[in-house]
């Protein structure tokens, strides 16, 4: 391990990264709150401003993957599809197998210039979480309760609101509903057997209603579905803690562009189409584990510098007052003040580890365990 690698693994560096992210995120959230006055005056201008503000937050996480850890990303696709990436609105269907697959999805968006306007389907509770949750609220993210009877009206309304969105956007969907674990997979395959559906080896059964309603609501707005299947070379199991420690991974992403007109409009036919799609995704994963690559042409899209520039801007803006405060406290602070500051650092350490722990697979949502026991949607 070199000097740079050693520094990346130190808690002080992690603390600085988290400090910059939290403080800059709260500043951006405050600015987003101020932009609400623009909504009744010029809704489209409000949306464009919030795309830029949202980029200030989300690109800091992408920077960790692309520049801090140096993780490489190779896309397997065809030339004609590659030419369309970033030039159209699309629904991106991602598998949900890894702790950082959301981060890889954002990196995919960043490589093609749509990170600021990227959308997700997220739990309603996240709308109340500072930084990311508040950013998503102002960005008109689609929130749901995961109870379809309640979600049908609100999700459709949220999706319809995006029909006049002024920016190209990608809506990222994890149709499995929760991250893959062996326990959830076992339960999911029991459901598949009960319903007479082909079993999957590397995925959970997709939840079809959310996908169907998304396709129905965004027809003539998005032009394609990007079937995206993610894996990592050398059987790596990447973690957010590994990224924070500067560990380099190599992500491979198989992306198939499917024109939206090729997807059935009928809900039942759309559901059957999605199940077939996941059987094909499963076959791609099986091939990857055997050969170490996906079908298609391997292309490495260039990194854009803006996530790094954004992070350097906020770091240079916020570090000076932080270190000034730190030096003044050490040099002139009382013992009580120093003890309080030490306890604050300990609390920050625990908080950082807790936030990282939330992303760990074995601490993921029980959603799949509970709901998969019932009739799969």
| Tens of pLDDT, residues 49-63 | 999 999 999 999 999
User: Any bridge partners for residue 37, and if so which?
Assistant: none
> Residue 24: which pLDDT band, with cuts at 50, 70 and 90?
very high
| CA contacts within 13 A on the Cβ side of 275 | 18
DSSP three-state, residue 245: coil
Residues in CB range of 291: below 8 A, 6 or more apart: none
**Percentage of residues in the chain with pLDDT exceeding 90?**
68
What per-residue confidence (pLDDT) applies to 372? 43
* Residue 373: per-residue pLDDT: 46
Distance CA 249, CA 239 (A): 10
pTM: 0.90
With bands split at pLDDT 50, 70 and 90, how would you rate the model's confidence at 5? Answer: confident
pLDDT at 375: 45
What is the per-residue pLDDT across 209-263, written as a single tens digit (0 to 9) for each? Answer: 989 999 999 999 999 999 999 999 998 999 988 999 999 999 999 999 999 999 9
**70-96 burial, b for 16+ CB within 10 Å, e for fewer?**
ebebbbbbeeebbebbeebbbbbbbbb
pLDDT, residue 130, reads 87
205 vs 338, higher pLDDT: 205
Write the pLDDT tens digit of every residue in 157-182. 999 999 999 999 999 999 998 889 99
Instruction: Report the distance separating Cα 196 and Cα 72, nearest Å.
Output: 40
| Predicted local distance difference test score (pLDDT) of residue 333 | 63
Phi (first) and psi of residue 250, to 5 degrees: -130, 110
């Amino acid at each position: 391990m070199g000097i740079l690698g050693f520094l990346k693994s130190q808690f002080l560096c992690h603390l600085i990264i988290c400090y910059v992210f939290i403080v800059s995120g709260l500043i951006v959230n405050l600015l987003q709150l101020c932009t609400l006055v623009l909504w009744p005056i010029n809704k489209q201008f409000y949306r464009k401003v919030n795309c830029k503000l949202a980029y200030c937050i989300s690109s800091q996480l992408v920077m960790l993957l692309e520049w801090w850890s140096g993780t490489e990303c190779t896309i397997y696709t065809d030339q004609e599809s590659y030419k369309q990436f970033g030039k159209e609105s699309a629904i991106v269907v991602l598998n949900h197998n890894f702790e950082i697959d959301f981060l890889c999805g954002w990196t995919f968006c960043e490589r093609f210039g749509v990170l600021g306007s990227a959308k997700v389907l997220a739990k309603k509770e996240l709308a109340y979480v500072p930084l990311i949750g508040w950013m998503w609220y102002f960005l008109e993210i689609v929130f749901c309760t995961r109870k379809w009877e309640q979600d049908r009206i609100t999700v459709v309304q949220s999706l319809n609101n995006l029909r006049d969105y002024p920016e190209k956007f990608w809506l990222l969907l994890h149709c499995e509903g929760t991250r893959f674990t062996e326990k959830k997979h076992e339960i999911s395959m029991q459901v598949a057997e009960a319903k007479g559906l082909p079993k999957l080896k590397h995925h959970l059964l997709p939840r079809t209603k959310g996908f169907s309603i998304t396709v129905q609501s965004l027809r003539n707005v998005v032009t394609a579905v990007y079937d995206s299947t993610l894996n990592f070379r050398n059987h790596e199991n990447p973690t957010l803690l590994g990224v924070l420690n500067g560990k380099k991974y190599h992500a491979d992403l198989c992306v198939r562009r499917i024109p939206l007109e090729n997807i059935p409009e009928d809900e039942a036919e759309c559901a059957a189409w999605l199940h077939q799609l996941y059987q094909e995704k499963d076959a791609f994963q099986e091939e990857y584990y055997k050969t170490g690559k996906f079908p298609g042409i391997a292309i490495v899209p260039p990194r854009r510098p803006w996530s790094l520039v954004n992070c350097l801007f906020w770091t240079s803006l916020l570090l000076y007052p932080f270190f000034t405060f730190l030096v003044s406290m050490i040099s002139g602070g009382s013992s009580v003040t120093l003890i309080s500051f030490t306890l604050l650092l300990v609390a920050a350490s625990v908080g950082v580890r807790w936030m990282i722990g939330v992303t760990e697979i074995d601490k993921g949502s029980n959603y799949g365990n509970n709901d998969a026991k019932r009739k799969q949607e």
